Amino acid sequence: MTAADVLTFGESLVSLRSAGPLVGGGALTMHLAGAECNVAVALARLGHRAAWVGRLSGDELGEFALRQLRAEGVLVDGVVRDPVRPTGLMFLERRAADVTRVQYHRAGSAGSVLCVDDLRTPLAAGARVLHLSGITPALSPSARAATVWAAETASAAGMLVSLDVNYRGRLWTRDEARAVLAPLARYASIVIASADELDLVGEAGPDESAAAALLDQGVGTVLVKLGAAGARAYTTDGVLHAGALAVTAIDTVGAGDAFTAGYLSGVLDGLDAAGSLRRGVTLGAFAVASGGDWEGLPRRDELALLDGYEAGSTIR
């Protein structure tokens, strides 16, 4: 196993998307999903060496997920196949034009039983960045222990650790999440959160004070995702804001992961915080402007495609 630019781990899911209310039945389309593999795919599309580790079922659904990751150039040497447990499913119900509902079928899945031993070899191979999401520790006690162990080990080895809070209310309560994620954030150099997630890793209150408390405890950068209002980066040098690119929103699921990947890509390329933030909102815009968690994300030569974009453009 060779070193990656970014190593991430978690649960990859098969997402089944409906065009309307699920109770009405009808066609579902099948996609690869999962916050961490979304980040890995986004980074691989930009030419970074991105490794994803996790457990996939030994059946066709696990094979589907693995093929998708391979096709996108994600390094999958550390993937473990589970002959017994299923790959988790996520139904994404387009309940109304602007309202999507999630239903998970992931309890007892292969991905949920990730453990420390799965991460030893990939982490020993090294990476510049270890990227964590707050979803993995919500999956099971062993996945929680693996996340904490990886954060500790990577930070002790001098790797840059990034943590996207990614609170999922269908997996655990806010109090349960806070008890795990606040200590985890102490290992992170970069913390990424929506404004309503900051209190899960730091103190409650306005963004500025929650971010200041995280910076005081040694976090280098706090990124706050603001949806259609763009994103802010808090560092010890002050605060930066990047507006969202003006695009027609088709599907916002996956936009946060795209933003995270864009920011990390900027860091890997040696951009400053403003340049990395700009790349973050650029990737977020690509995710929002197309269907699927990651399918519409850009290759490196497409990064400027949405700059000066006009509705209805045809590039000839």
Q: What is the DSSP letter of 74?
A: -
Comparing CB distances to ligand KDG, the nearer of 65 and 240 is 65
Lookup result for tokens 């500025």: 208
The amino acid present at 135, given as its one-letter code, is I
Nearest-5° Cα angle at 259, 255 to 260: 120
Interface residue with ligand KDG, options 4, 6, 33, 163 (CB under 6 A): 33
**Do 223 and 277 form a contact (C-beta atoms < 8 A)?**
yes
Site string for ligand KDG, 90-129 (x = CB under 6 A): x---------------------------------------
Interface residue with ligand KDG, options 293, 296, 297, 298 (CB under 6 A): 293
Please report how close the Cβ of residue 7 comes to ligand KDG at its closest, in angstroms.
17
Site string for ligand KDG, 149-188 (x = CB under 6 A): -------------------x--------------------
Told to judge if 257 belongs to the known catalytic residues of this protein, a careful annotator would answer yes
Please state, as a whole number, how many other Cβ atoms lie within 10 Å of the Cβ of residue 125.
16
Interface residue with ligand KDG, options 8, 18, 38, 140 (CB under 6 A): 38
Comparing CB distances to ligand KDG, the nearer of 212 and 251 is 251
Comparing CB distances to ligand KDG, the nearer of 34 and 298 is 34
Site string for ligand KDG, 249-288 (x = CB under 6 A): ----xx-xx-------------------------------
Contacts (Cβ under 8 Å, ≥6 apart) of 140: 112, 113, 114
33: which strand partners? 13
| Candidates 30-38, 39-47, 71-79, 212-220; binding stretch for ligand KDG (CB under 6 A) | 30-38
- Tokens for 89, please give them: 């499913």
**Do 239 and 231 form a contact (C-beta atoms < 8 A)?**
no
In terms of C-beta density within 10 A (0-12 exposed, 13-18 middle, 19 or more buried), how is residue 275 classed? Answer: middle
Please report how close the Cβ of residue 5 comes to ligand KDG at its closest, in angstroms.
21
- Tokens for 46, please give them: 């930009």
Comparing CB distances to ligand KDG, the nearer of 29 and 236 is 29
275: left (phi over 0), alpha (psi -120 to 50) or beta: alpha
Please report how close the Cβ of residue 236 comes to ligand KDG at its closest, in angstroms.
29
Q: What are the residue ranges of helices labelled H in the chain?
A: 35-45, 60-71, 116-125, 141-156, 174-185, 207-216, 255-268, 273-288
Q: Give yes or no for residue 56 binding ligand KDG (CB under 6 A).
A: no
Of the candidates 5, 164, 257, 293, the residue annotated as catalytic is 257
Q: Count the helix, strand and coil residues of the chain and give each as a percent rounded to the nearest 5.
A: 40, 25, 35
Residues 216-255 that bind ligand KDG (CB under 6 A): 253-254
Positions that interact with ligand KDG (CB under 6 A): 13, 33-35, 38, 90, 135, 168, 253-254, 256-257, 293
